[in-house]
Amino acid sequence: MFGYIKPKPCELKMRDNEKFKAYYCGVCRSLHKSNGRTASLLLSYDCVFLAIFLSALYEANVSTEEFRCILHPQRKDKYLKDNIFVDYAADVNLILLNYKFADDRRDEGSITASIGKLFYSRRFRRLMEKYETLCTKIESTLKTISLIEDSKVDLMDDITENFANMMSEIFAHSPGEHAESQIRILREAGYNIGKWIYVIDAYDDIEKDIKKNAYNPIVIKYEKKSDESVGTFKGRVQEQIEIDLLKSLERLCLSLELLKFVGDTAILENIIFEGLYSKTKEIIYNEQPVRSSWCQRRR
């Protein structure tokens, strides 16, 4: 579900690439600090995007410190420290993880998910107290989504709406005092990002869901025939799905134009104008991203 919101590294300046890594390491270390080492292994790029977005929007501390990552002990890396939005993104990461575990345990009977839910239950209870309103809204939204998925009817618009509303709540509940108009714009930005994530994930999972006979809203909405191959079906629906995705991105850009960013927006602009767009093309048309030899070496 998550992990689609990434920058396009080839279009980023080296210093901005280093800053992005500092954000990533910052969220990872924040997860580690508050929830243990294993939580940091379950970090999502989307939560890093949340930290970058909020740090660019408000005057946030962007000082970094060097450290040695346990996964790359041979080199020193930098991480963003003492940033309230990085900490918020880490908390949101764990909240969403907890609900994912609950979802997987219910749908697939996954033992890993059961263990994960049990392991993080105490930490999640602490987060529930800290973000009571947000967690209540996320829980009710995910329950509605589960009900619709279980019914296996064509309600793709309703599911997408619910998921988008959940993301809008995450953006609107970010730390700090916000003006009413600011909250409206944040909700709209979160809503469109949520819509984009849900639709692109649904399209990306078509083949997997058909094989497992799992619920896929696109398969139901566009009525895949039993004798129709996955490739043919995807070819039939890709144009409309692309329009839906680009419409969400357009609305996201419009909402961002109404925000006044005070921080550095280079990474944010790369993610939104390059990263999301190229990910759309990559998933819909199976276009492999162009990677220069420099990018390949960095990987």
Partner 1 sequence: MSNPYEVLGVREDASQDEIKQAYRVMVKKYHPDKFKDNPLSDLADEKLKEINEAYDVLTKENTSGGPNTGAYDNSFSSGGFNPYARGNGNFDPYQRGYNRNDGYKQNDGGCNDCCRICSCVMCTDCMCNSCC
- The residues that touch partner 1, with contacts defined as CB under 8 A, are 181, 184-185, 188, 251, 254-255, 257-258
Residue 197 and residue 46 in contact, taking contact as beta carbons nearer than 8 Å: yes
Q: Toward partner 1, which CB reaches closer, 214 or 253?
A: 253
Other CB atoms within a 10 A radius of the CB of residue 122 amount to: 9
* CA pair distance 289, 51, nearest whole angstrom: 25
For residue 185, the minimal CB distance to partner 1 (Å) is 6
Q: Toward partner 1, which CB reaches closer, 78 or 184?
A: 184
* CA pair distance 157, 174, nearest whole angstrom: 26
For residue 184, the minimal CB distance to partner 1 (Å) is 7
Q: Toward partner 1, which CB reaches closer, 2 or 273?
A: 273
Buried b / exposed e over 180-195, threshold 16 CB at 10 Å, is eebeebbbbbbbbbbb
For residue 187, the minimal CB distance to partner 1 (Å) is 9
Other CB atoms within a 10 A radius of the CB of residue 208 amount to: 11
Q: Toward partner 1, which CB reaches closer, 260 or 297?
A: 260
* CA pair distance 207, 192, nearest whole angstrom: 25
Q: Toward partner 1, which CB reaches closer, 115 or 258?
A: 258
The residue type of 119 is F
Q: Toward partner 1, which CB reaches closer, 59 or 129?
A: 59
Residue 65 pairs in a beta bridge with 79
Kind and range of the H or E run holding 65? strand 64-67
For residue 178, the minimal CB distance to partner 1 (Å) is 14
Residue 64 pairs in a beta bridge with 80
For residue 134, the minimal CB distance to partner 1 (Å) is 21
For residue 165, the minimal CB distance to partner 1 (Å) is 13
Q: Which CA distances in Å does 134 have to 95, 117, 138, 147?
A: 10, 19, 6, 20
